Structure 1
Amino acid sequence: MNGVTGRMGYRQHLVRSILAIRDEGGVALPDGTRVVPEPVLVGRDASKLEALAAKHGLERWTTDLDEALATCDVYFDSQVTQAREKAIKSALAAGKHVYTEKPLAETHAGALELANLASQAGVRHGVVQDKLFLPGLLKLHRLLEGGFFGRVLSIRGEFGYWVFEGDWQDAQRPSWNYRAEDGGGITLDMFCHWSYVLEQLFAPVSAVTAVTATHIPTRWDAGAEYPATADDAAYGIFELTNGVIAQINSSWATRVNRDELVEFQVDGVEGSAVAGLHHCRIQHRAATPKPSWDPDAPTTERFRAQWQDVPDNGVLENGFKVQWAAFLRHVCADAPFPHDFYAGARGVALAEAGLRSAAQRRRVVLDA
């Protein structure tokens, strides 16, 4: 596990996924056996790795990637994007199965090369697509599978929150996120998410029109001022192959006035839903009110109260852990796993198309 000293790599992948799976006795395989993962921690900072290992009772850690690859079956990468491509190539050359955070690479060409190398090596390969396993989107998927919406018309998404500049309050995201030269930028980060969410739940993206911005041009890291060279907001219109239109705003320069940090509203002929990280609310066609527009009188209707909660109908676990278990079954028992490097490459392709659309101020059609 390379990059576990970072926030996401540590909390979601090491602690809440791999260690949680290990503590539960491993992942059950179809033949009745169980596979128990034992992590090898890899990174650049020996003191941090040693401290993490000691905290969780782990014996194996190293700053030497080749040493780790010599003793493991699966390589996982949650480093900064800029360092990912080279490390994955080393893992593939060593014949290891690879599971990685997204984006898979900084460019579509680089991502596609990794996908082809993995395919040629005959190893299992996967990219984290955690949003699909969130309780709110699992409920949304259930509604889609059950035909709740009828014909889907449109999707509207809002993601983001205010990331402090770092001068008078510490920033809650690493500074490299805001430097293009270090692989930062919200378009590369979030359009990879929107690619698989739209593709897996609705249909692939056929064209995109986007506007990006660097709303906060100067930020601070540990008291040192630096120029923010990467985009911190992206506003996209995504045309899907089935005719559905999706509008998704992504911003690290917005304050939250919604129930969750990300929400998607799906409107269909027969009903609508609003899904977030955990919750999902619906309004059926037969229960849709008929509001009237009167700018001279205050609105008395409580529109949110007119929606109904979708029940859990089961235990919904941490999305990262669920996908980790699926990948381990894919490696050990050949279970299906659609979230491979080619899916990751499509996400990077959408991000590149979005950046090109913003730079050229035009609609960009994606290759079929």
Structure 2
Amino acid sequence: MTRRTVRIAMNGVTGRMGCRQHLVRSLLAIRAQGGLDLGDGTVLWPEPVLVGRREHALRELARRHGLEHVSTDLDAVLADPAVDVYFDAQVTVAREEALAKAIAAGKHVYTEKPTALSTKAALGLARQAREAGVKSGVVQDKLFLPGLLKLRRLVEGGFFGRILSVRGEFGYWVFEGDWQSAQRPSWNYRAQDGGGMVLDMFPHWEYLLHGLFGRVETVQAHVATHLPRRWDEQGRAYEATADDAAYGIFGLAGGIVAQINSSWATRVHRDELVEFQVDGTEGSAVAGLRGCRIQHRATTPKPLWDPDVPAAGSFREQWQEVPGNGVFDNGFKAQWELFLRHVALDEPYHWDLLAGARGVQLAELGLRAAAEGRRLDVPELTL
């Protein structure tokens, strides 16, 4: 085997998501398995270059994982011809400028969401990448989760017949930070820093709905800031200016109706932190991060409404678990491998900056629909 090194500038990996999912569970996991086998006698070896503002944190992270390359000078890293790919997991407000710099420097780019704060800016990045001839990828991890992969198998196998509706529940209680530390960074709850449930999660719902069921054609939404006062990492109280909950209704191609509730102010009473129920003429399914259960038309019980008589049995027990029939890798790692093969071999890849712009567009229109109290059309984006 011949080893081929791909050097990846990773910006924002001192944060929880960038470190755990992208560095440790993706690129370092690829190295731990001996690299990425390209199938032509070549193994692709990812070489991270850790980039950020806090040199001490970067050096400690590098030391912990046996890495060599650390820099607080993004411009110098992007000017280095040995760097092939730029990855961004920074706070949202810093992402657009950094991506534009990387593309201008001729680097392939792979990035977290949202790619920008406006549809215009997100489309501008996609056009810039196309004109520069660089490859781009946007993290769309939920499509690679075991539960959603099982759901995809059902959709592609025609299990549902005609799909009628999708209902999603996402969220959990994020501690305010006063008497228990919050599980999410404080900037998530400040609109001026790019925070907000809609900007965070509507891009996820766009690619998930689009990828599994059909293009989102309309959006209605109600947003709320249920907890207006929170405490930051230093224990200081601050005003939560961003929405911490969003209740959306999406009209999909083919007449499918999707409803998704997203909240950081709800307590979990379901099997997983996110679940989607899909109902069709021939059957229904409930899918989460890992599990997926089904009920076919032929085995659907006949419920009768009688509030004076206790239910005869558990409704959950009337559903059948969908088998995995295989081993599911970490979803972030699986998409990283596809993107690296796209860079190295020019294999087809669908989740580019244009796909990222669709997510920004849905978030922007969702906020506008909520502000105006009406349903809005979602125009199809093109370059």
Q: Normalised by the size of structure 1, how large is the TM-score?
A: 0.99
2:224 pairs with 210, 213, 221, which one?
213
| Structure 2 gap segments, 5+ residues each | 1-9
CA contact (8 A) 1:165 1:171 kept: yes
2:278 pairs with 266, 270, 275, which one?
266
1:27 pairs with 33, 36, 39, which one?
36
The alignment partner of 1:114 has SS state of: helix
Specify the alignment match of 1:277 in structure 2: 289
1:148 pairs with 159, 164, 172, which one?
159
CA contact (8 A) 1:30 1:333 kept: no
- Measured after TM superposition, the shift of residue 34 of structure 1 is 1.6
**Which deviations, in whole Å up to 9, do the C-alpha atoms of 1:140-184 show, x marking residues without a partner?**
000111111011000000000000000110001000000000000
2:121 and 2:313 map into 1 onto residues whose CA distance is 52
2:347 and 2:37 map into 1 onto residues whose CA distance is 12
Aligned length: 368
- Measured after TM superposition, the shift of residue 27 of structure 1 is 1.3
1:184 and 1:38 map into 2 onto residues whose CA distance is 31
1:196 and 1:79 map into 2 onto residues whose CA distance is 21
Specify the alignment match of 1:100 in structure 2: 111
1:358 and 1:89 map into 2 onto residues whose CA distance is 30
Specify the alignment match of 1:343 in structure 2: 355
**Which deviations, in whole Å up to 9, do the C-alpha atoms of 1:175-221 show, x marking residues without a partner?**
00000000000001100000000001010100001000000000001
1:3 pairs with 12, 16, 21, which one?
12
2:133 pairs with 107, 112, 122, which one?
122
After superposition, the CA RMSD in angstroms is 0.7
- Residue 162 in structure 1 maps to residue 173 in structure 2: yes
The alignment partner of 1:39 has SS state of: strand
CA contact (8 A) 1:81 1:183 kept: yes
- Measured after TM superposition, the shift of residue 231 of structure 1 is 0.2
**Which deviations, in whole Å up to 9, do the C-alpha atoms of 1:296-320 show, x marking residues without a partner?**
1222320000001111101100000
Identity %: 69
**Which deviations, in whole Å up to 9, do the C-alpha atoms of 1:86-132 show, x marking residues without a partner?**
11111011100000000111111110000000000000001000000
The alignment partner of 2:255 has SS state of: coil
Specify the alignment match of 1:289 in structure 2: 301
- Residue 54 in structure 1 maps to residue 66 in structure 2: no
2:313 and 2:215 map into 1 onto residues whose CA distance is 37
Aligned ranges for residues 352-363 of structure 1 at < 5 Å?
Answer: 352-363=364-375
The alignment partner of 1:102 has SS state of: coil
The alignment partner of 2:231 has SS state of: strand
The alignment partner of 1:242 has SS state of: helix
- Measured after TM superposition, the shift of residue 366 of structure 1 is 1.0
Would you identify which runs of 4 or more consecutive aligned residues in structure 1 move more than 2 Å? none
**Which deviations, in whole Å up to 9, do the C-alpha atoms of 1:6-42 show, x marking residues without a partner?**
0000000000000000111111224232211010000
Specify the alignment match of 1:14 in structure 2: 23
1:241 and 1:284 map into 2 onto residues whose CA distance is 24
- Measured after TM superposition, the shift of residue 67 of structure 1 is 2.1
- Residue 314 in structure 1 maps to residue 323 in structure 2: no
1:190 pairs with 177, 201, 217, which one?
201
| Structure 1 gap segments, 5+ residues each | none
Specify the alignment match of 1:181 in structure 2: 192
- Residue 235 in structure 1 maps to residue 235 in structure 2: no
- Measured after TM superposition, the shift of residue 54 of structure 1 is 0.3
1:37 and 1:43 map into 2 onto residues whose CA distance is 19
1:24 and 1:352 map into 2 onto residues whose CA distance is 40
**Which deviations, in whole Å up to 9, do the C-alpha atoms of 1:257-291 show, x marking residues without a partner?**
00000000000111000000000000010010001
Aligned ranges for residues 323-334 of structure 1 at < 5 Å?
Answer: 323-334=335-346
- Measured after TM superposition, the shift of residue 133 of structure 1 is 0.2
The alignment partner of 1:153 has SS state of: strand
Specify the alignment match of 2:102 in structure 1: 91
Specify the alignment match of 1:364 in structure 2: 376
- Measured after TM superposition, the shift of residue 336 of structure 1 is 1.0
- Residue 45 in structure 1 maps to residue 54 in structure 2: yes
